[in-house]
């Protein structure tokens, strides 16, 4: 599967929600997610758990353009605790990210409004690309959504939440020496 995505910091989660509704996004659900990231030689591998469900997700992101292309595979996981323990023992754990996610939808575009433990508020836009559909088809639309949410290109983030957490920890520890 593929999607065109953009991740960004939000100053005001409630204002972003109101702006998203104003441009046609509708609330799908709100839930707590826990992502456990594992050490892998290529791409990223995470176990996502939410509301009694779990998926193993492997993905690669292309950072060569302002908006990112993501290629991913998702596998439902029936016993997340056992899988988490096995993968941690076999591969090693990079990080765990907990967040409260509000999912809004507009056609094949998902907007995530996230409150990430230890980091703050963020948004993610994911335009899910139908098979054979070029990413260019959605670049202008994603750009217009970013503008409506008052996010400029300089506000985009090219790393995962766990990488942001690592950066925050490194900055705070270097400031304490």
Tell the CATH topology of 2-175: Hypothetical Protein Pfu-838710-001 (2.40.320)
CA distance 61 to 39: 16
Report the distance separating Cα 44 and Cα 94, nearest Å.
10
Phi, psi (deg, nearest 5) at residue 20:
-65, -45
Question: Mind listing the pLDDT tens digit of every residue in the chain (177 residues)?
Answer: 999 999 999 999 999 999 999 999 999 999 999 999 999 999 999 999 999 999 999 999 886 566 889 999 999 999 999 999 999 999 999 999 999 999 999 999 999 999 999 999 999 999 999 988 988 899 999 999 999 999 988 889 989 999 999 888 888 877 765
Give the span between the Cα atoms of 78 and 68, in whole angstroms. Answer: 30
Asked whether the whole model's pTM tops 0.75, one would answer yes
Domain boundaries, the chain: 2-175
């Amino acid at each position: 599967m593929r999607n065109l995505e953009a991740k960004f910091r939000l100053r005001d989660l409630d204002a972003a929600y109101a702006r998203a509704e104003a441009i046609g996004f509708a609330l799908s659900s709100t839930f707590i997610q826990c992502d456990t990231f594992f050490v892998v030689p290529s791409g990223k591998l995470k176990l996502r758990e939410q509301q009694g469900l779990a998926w193993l997700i492997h993905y690669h992101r292309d950072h060569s353009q302002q908006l990112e292309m993501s290629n991913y595979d998702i596998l439902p996981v029936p016993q997340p605790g056992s899988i988490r323990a096995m993968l941690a023992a076999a591969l090693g754990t990079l990080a765990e990210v907990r967040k409260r996610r509000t999912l809004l939808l507009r056609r094949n575009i998902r907007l995530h409004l996230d409150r990430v433990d230890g980091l703050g508020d963020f948004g993610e836009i994911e335009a899910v690309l139908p098979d054979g559909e070029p990413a260019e088809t959605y670049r202008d639309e994603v750009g217009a959504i970013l503008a409506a949410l008052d996010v400029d290109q300089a506000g985009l983030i090219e790393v995962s939440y766990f990488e942001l957490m690592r950066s925050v920890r490194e900055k705070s520890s270097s400031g304490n020496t």
